[in-house]
């Protein structure tokens, strides 16, 4: 392009195609922003996942720890059964604790140092 005496490129008249492209690009960016907006997680869904993890994880953990201790100490199946039932009890206790927590407060027991 030719430069004038100030060293700047002279401004060209706006091209209608470029303006149309800018408008379409802006509309598409706005639509993409609406589509990818971050949604708030449902607290009921989160509570349900927490309850399910306690109902499955506590007995499974008790079973596995009891099984390992039984093999190590040679007391099969007594420690496995005892820790399995303690796991069920702990799971139900945690479910009751979670269900008694209000929607605004976090379930107790998850804080550190209190």
Domain membership of residue 18 (yes or no) is no
Domain membership of residue 65 (yes or no) is yes
Residue 84: predicted pLDDT = 97
Domain membership of residue 17 (yes or no) is no
Residue 75's domain comprises 43-100
Domain membership of residue 81 (yes or no) is yes
Domain membership of residue 1 (yes or no) is no
Q: Record the pTM.
A: 0.57
Domain membership of residue 88 (yes or no) is yes
Helices (H), 1-114: 16-35, 43-73, 78-100
Residue 15: predicted pLDDT = 76
Domain membership of residue 69 (yes or no) is yes
SS3 state of residue 16: helix
Residue 112 has pLDDT above 70, yes or no: no
pLDDT higher for 42 or 93? 93
pLDDT 10s digits, 63-108: 999 999 999 999 999 999 999 999 999 999 999 999 888 655 665 5
Q: CA torsion sign, 61 to 67 to 71 to 76?
A: positive
Task: Work out how many domains the chain is built from and give that number.
Answer: 1
Residue 26: predicted pLDDT = 92
Domain membership of residue 9 (yes or no) is no
Residues 6+ apart with CB under 8 A from 15: none
């Amino acid at each position: 392009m030719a430069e004038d005496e100030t060293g700047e490129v002279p401004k060209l008249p706006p091209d209608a195609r470029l303006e149309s492209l800018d408008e379409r690009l802006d509309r598409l960016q706005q639509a993409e922003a609406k589509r990818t907006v971050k949604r708030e997680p449902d607290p009921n869904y989160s509570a349900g996942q927490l309850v399910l993890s306690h109902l499955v994880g506590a007995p499974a953990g008790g079973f596995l720890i009891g099984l390992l201790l039984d093999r190590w100490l040679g007391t099969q199946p007594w420690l496995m059964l005892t820790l399995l039932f303690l796991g069920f009890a702990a799971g139900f206790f945690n479910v009751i604790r979670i269900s008694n927590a209000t929607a605004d407060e976090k379930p107790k027991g998850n804080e550190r140092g209190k």
